[in-house]
Structure 1
Amino acid sequence: MPQLLINAEFWSKPLTILLHNNLYNKQDLRTTVEGMLYRMRTGCSWRDLPKAFGSWNKVYKRFTA
């Protein structure tokens, strides 16, 4: 897995905000957020994200339907 940007101590803060805004606490929520941060940091396209962050096709289909 690529280097993570959010340590366990810091993750509790954005998790609280995300759950307060009615986002469900899915199992891979942290991985999804880490994938977004990785993409912003590297400037890669969604399809070039490492597999460790999940499949970009799921995200694309969810927001284009």
Structure 2
Amino acid sequence: MVENAFARLKHFRALATRYDKLKRNYESTVSLACALIWLKL
């Protein structure tokens, strides 16, 4: 289940390549991606 969640997160290009260099921005992008994945379920 955890591996599937990471596989879904890797579909977001900004997360896979880590465009955001600041920790704060990266964490907010991860949170947004998780929320979008959760809403699709």
TM-score, normalised relative to structure 1: 0.32
Query: Which has the larger share of helix?
Result: 2
Bigger Rg, which one: 1
